[in-house]
Chains A and B, each alone.
Chain A
């Protein structure tokens, strides 16, 4: 009689507590622990670069403003997802993302590969007043980003914490974080060359918001949007080689 056993269990609070913890632990352990040990979970991408300090600052603004509530950054292995947004997302592409911003709702379109799709000018106009370029849009206006100077002094601390968590920032990158943030948004300055030296030739050095006298939050956010999907080309390489078949509708 199972009731007999349960009748006993119900008489001891500690017994119930232990049984609840045991029952509720199994699923999480079985599903989460192997993700750290099975090597195939995250693909290899030796060419992948890290976010520059300016892009990281932009990413933090993206989080602060809750952009993930309406925009996903995860292209699924579905035909219409791939045709609308580009090659489906690989795990490796977000391996430096603390936290990931895969999202859960598309009130607006997916942004996983929005980098390079529009000009800086378009991005700034759109963020300042979305309805000036997309009349039907229901996105909030973020004009205040242009008015807000970017806090750059502590970016080295941000990079240092991320290095503790496994993101391969070098001492050089950490020491020059604030200078690199300034340089990436100020192409004519002496600091611009340092960014390219540390983060690679492909790094986008630009007066993102069109103004070089001051680095604003608009610069940072646009720099981040422009790098989305461009830290590595592992996805397009893998899928051009005809690797896993893309599922059809509902497949």
Chain B
């Protein structure tokens, strides 16, 4: 890591980290016994450890490599490791909270381990920790290869990576000690949010400067999606998190939004976190790693244009479908429903484009579990987007909303689409990055595939059942016109499905652990004799889109 930096770059790193330590000290001093003080200590320790790493290699030899002739892959390797670590953490938390719903005493009568505090550690851990690190790592890889240019910075990729992980750490540790804005998927408090803005601006500048160095005249499709991910997430994050802290010494803040406007802003953010974090970025992965692995160009360039702009334009409108039949005015609910249905067109255009790309490579899908991960991910993407449009229709939503059907839908997307495309991409990326002929064990990739698929299916079927059953029970009337079931009756009916769901999640977690082992062993294995054609000077590394 540090060995690749020149001595002046090491000095910059040290200065940045010393500034971060000072900020941590200020937080600890202002916060005192407030949770802000605890987070000050975490910032000091985190920055201090990194500072130690920099200083301990401070006087090492200068790097020898020719920077113009090589890609900058070290941050990608660390990003993959962090992503997998968060995957195991986040999925473990998921299995734990799922089990608490079936066996509530698994909270062990402590404050930090109750469902309400653990649940955001699961969502933040998998969405931002696992997904975010995977997006950052793959975006660094894809932008270099498709632009045939080295990343436009030596320090900034590390800043983005470690800065983002500091955000995740502050968020997750905060929930355990009771720090939360209670905005779903944006629970982190004001200081963590401010820090993420700084990190994100650096990320954007790095990305756009790397694109500016490109040797290809056109910007490849995958980069459009990564750009949309970076830009729109910034807008959503800033607007939704506008808040005033109680004081400089308080972790607690009050959002500037209230009531119905807050609800609209929150779900404008919440659904577009799904759109631009969990869809756009991962479509970026799909558009690069799927054609590379299949050895075939993207089926249709026109379809990719249609789906890209369709997704970017339509998605922003649909957040209000989370608020059907609420105190949100009807005209907004109707707009949300209408655009949700229209969104199916660009979504299926993407899914279809991916599947048709596999035409001529179906024998590879059969034999290669890595490609099969991506194939199944595209199928789940198509299924989950259809389900999403369907659930956004008001009368359907009256049954599904507030039930586990929504949870099932989210996990069809998160497990079936997001996680599977990530694993497929990582299994393609890891051997290339560490210059190995293949993953350490093809059998373990196969094992992971079946664990992940079985886990997803068990999870989703359990939640479909529980959601639809509970929705129907809530609205069942006796012949006398009174409600048949008390709320507790409907809860009792959920228990078998909660157990099944926890089991499905456990299988998925086991798959991720298998993946960690396989990636670790691949990185440790012997390098291939020679890997040709992986540098900015070589052409033809980007999958050329067909016309």
Q: Which residues of A contact B (CB under 8 A)?
A: 2-3, 6-7, 10-11, 13-14, 16-17, 20-21, 23-28, 30-32, 35-36, 38, 40-42, 60, 63-70, 72, 74, 76-81, 83-84, 88-110, 130-131, 134, 136-144, 154, 157-158, 161-162, 164-167, 247, 249-251
Please determine whether A140 and B115 come into contact, CB atoms closer than 8 angstroms: yes
Please determine whether A99 and B266 come into contact, CB atoms closer than 8 angstroms: yes
- Which partner residue on chain A sits nearest B123 by CB separation? A69
Please determine whether B402 and A104 come into contact, CB atoms closer than 8 angstroms: yes
Instruction: Choose one: A68, A92, A138; the contact of B104 (CB below 8 Å).
Output: A138
CB distance from B257 to the nearest CB of A (A): 7
Bound together, the chains give a CA A185 to CA B338 distance in angstroms of 49
Bound together, the chains give a CA A120 to CA B315 distance in angstroms of 45
Question: Which residues does chain B contribute within 8 Å of A250, judged by CB atoms?
Answer: 395, 398-399
Please determine whether B326 and A63 come into contact, CB atoms closer than 8 angstroms: no
**Interface-centre pick from B232, B315, B319, B491 (highest chain A CB count, 10 A):** B491
Please determine whether B107 and A141 come into contact, CB atoms closer than 8 angstroms: yes
CB distance from A80 to the nearest CB of B (A): 4
Please determine whether A74 and B235 come into contact, CB atoms closer than 8 angstroms: no
CB distance from A59 to the nearest CB of B (A): 10
Please determine whether B407 and A13 come into contact, CB atoms closer than 8 angstroms: no
Please determine whether A38 and B329 come into contact, CB atoms closer than 8 angstroms: yes
Please determine whether B107 and A140 come into contact, CB atoms closer than 8 angstroms: yes
Please determine whether A31 and B264 come into contact, CB atoms closer than 8 angstroms: yes
- Which partner residue on chain B sits nearest A79 by CB separation? B475
User: With contacts A13-B219, A94-B263 known, what are 8 further pairs, Cβ within 8 A?
Assistant: A63-B182, A69-B116, A84-B483, A98-B254, A106-B403, A109-B487, A138-B102, A138-B498
A25-B316, A97-B262, A99-B266 known; A65 vs B327 contact (CB < 8 Å): no
**Interface-centre pick from A106, A154, A162 (highest chain B CB count, 10 A):** A106
Cβ proximity bits B111-127 to A, threshold 8 Å, 1 near / 0 not: 10011110110000000
CB distance from B102 to the nearest CB of A (A): 7
Bound together, the chains give a CA A141 to CA B246 distance in angstroms of 29
Bound together, the chains give a CA A55 to CA B482 distance in angstroms of 34
Cβ proximity bits B122-162 to A, threshold 8 Å, 1 near / 0 not: 00000000000000000000000000000000000000000
Bound together, the chains give a CA A137 to CA B487 distance in angstroms of 10
The 5 nearest A-B residue pairs measured at CB = A66-B116, A27-B316, A27-B317, A76-B325, A63-B182
- Which partner residue on chain A sits nearest B253 by CB separation? A161
Bound together, the chains give a CA A112 to CA B518 distance in angstroms of 49
A21-B235, A250-B395 known; A74 vs B326 contact (CB < 8 Å): yes
CB distance from B98 to the nearest CB of A (A): 11
Bound together, the chains give a CA A221 to CA B406 distance in angstroms of 29
Please determine whether B326 and A76 come into contact, CB atoms closer than 8 angstroms: yes
Question: Which residues does chain A contribute within 8 Å of B244, judged by CB atoms?
Answer: 161, 164-165
The A-contacting residues of B in range 279-309, CB under 8 angstroms, are: 301-302, 305, 309
A95-B259, A107-B101, A139-B104 known; A102 vs B313 contact (CB < 8 Å): no
Bound together, the chains give a CA A76 to CA B328 distance in angstroms of 10
A20-B231, A24-B228, A249-B475 known; A136 vs B263 contact (CB < 8 Å): no
5 contacts between A and B (CB under 8 A): A11-B218, A25-B316, A80-B483, A100-B259, A154-B247
Question: Which residues does chain B contribute within 8 Å of A41, judged by CB atoms?
Answer: 260, 329
Please determine whether B101 and A138 come into contact, CB atoms closer than 8 angstroms: yes
A11-B217, A27-B317 known; A140 vs B258 contact (CB < 8 Å): no
B183 interfacial contact with A, CB 8 Å: yes
Question: Which residues does chain B contribute within 8 Å of A94, judged by CB atoms?
Answer: 258-260, 262-263, 327
B16 interfacial contact with A, CB 8 Å: no
Instruction: Choose one: B218, B324, B339, B402; the contact of A27 (CB below 8 Å).
Output: B339
A96-B258, A99-B181 known; A20 vs B227 contact (CB < 8 Å): yes
Please determine whether A36 and B483 come into contact, CB atoms closer than 8 angstroms: no
Please determine whether B219 and A26 come into contact, CB atoms closer than 8 angstroms: no
Bound together, the chains give a CA A249 to CA B467 distance in angstroms of 16
Instruction: Choose one: A102, A130, A167, A251; the contact of B395 (CB below 8 Å).
Output: A251
- Which partner residue on chain A sits nearest B477 by CB separation? A80
Please determine whether B231 and A35 come into contact, CB atoms closer than 8 angstroms: no
Please determine whether A26 and B316 come into contact, CB atoms closer than 8 angstroms: yes
Please determine whether A100 and B483 come into contact, CB atoms closer than 8 angstroms: no
B322 interfacial contact with A, CB 8 Å: yes
Please determine whether A36 and B101 come into contact, CB atoms closer than 8 angstroms: no
Question: Which residues does chain A contribute within 8 Å of B256, judged by CB atoms?
Answer: 98, 165
CB distance from B22 to the nearest CB of A (A): 26
**Interface-centre pick from B179, B239, B401 (highest chain A CB count, 10 A):** B401
Please determine whether B182 and A101 come into contact, CB atoms closer than 8 angstroms: yes
Please determine whether B258 and A100 come into contact, CB atoms closer than 8 angstroms: yes
Please determine whether A96 and B259 come into contact, CB atoms closer than 8 angstroms: yes
Please determine whether B491 and A17 come into contact, CB atoms closer than 8 angstroms: no
- Which partner residue on chain A sits nearest B114 by CB separation? A140
Question: Which residues does chain B contribute within 8 Å of A3, judged by CB atoms?
Answer: 301-302, 305
Please determine whether A36 and B398 come into contact, CB atoms closer than 8 angstroms: no
Bound together, the chains give a CA A44 to CA B111 distance in angstroms of 40
A98-B257, A250-B398 known; A24 vs B224 contact (CB < 8 Å): no
Instruction: Choose one: B102, B111, B477, B498; the contact of A144 (CB below 8 Å).
Output: B111
The A-contacting residues of B in range 142-192, CB under 8 angstroms, are: 175, 178-184
Question: Which residues does chain B contribute within 8 Å of A16, judged by CB atoms?
Answer: 219, 224, 227
Bound together, the chains give a CA A17 to CA B232 distance in angstroms of 10
Please determine whether A42 and B182 come into contact, CB atoms closer than 8 angstroms: no
CB distance from A111 to the nearest CB of B (A): 11
Bound together, the chains give a CA A110 to CA B402 distance in angstroms of 10
Question: Which residues does chain B contribute within 8 Å of A27, judged by CB atoms?
Answer: 313-318, 339
Instruction: Choose one: B231, B232, B260; the contact of A100 (CB below 8 Å).
Output: B260
Please determine whether A142 and B114 come into contact, CB atoms closer than 8 angstroms: yes
- Which partner residue on chain B sits nearest A157 by CB separation? B246
- Which partner residue on chain A sits nearest B240 by CB separation? A99
Instruction: Choose one: A69, A83, A100; the contact of B263 (CB below 8 Å).
Output: A100
B332 interfacial contact with A, CB 8 Å: yes
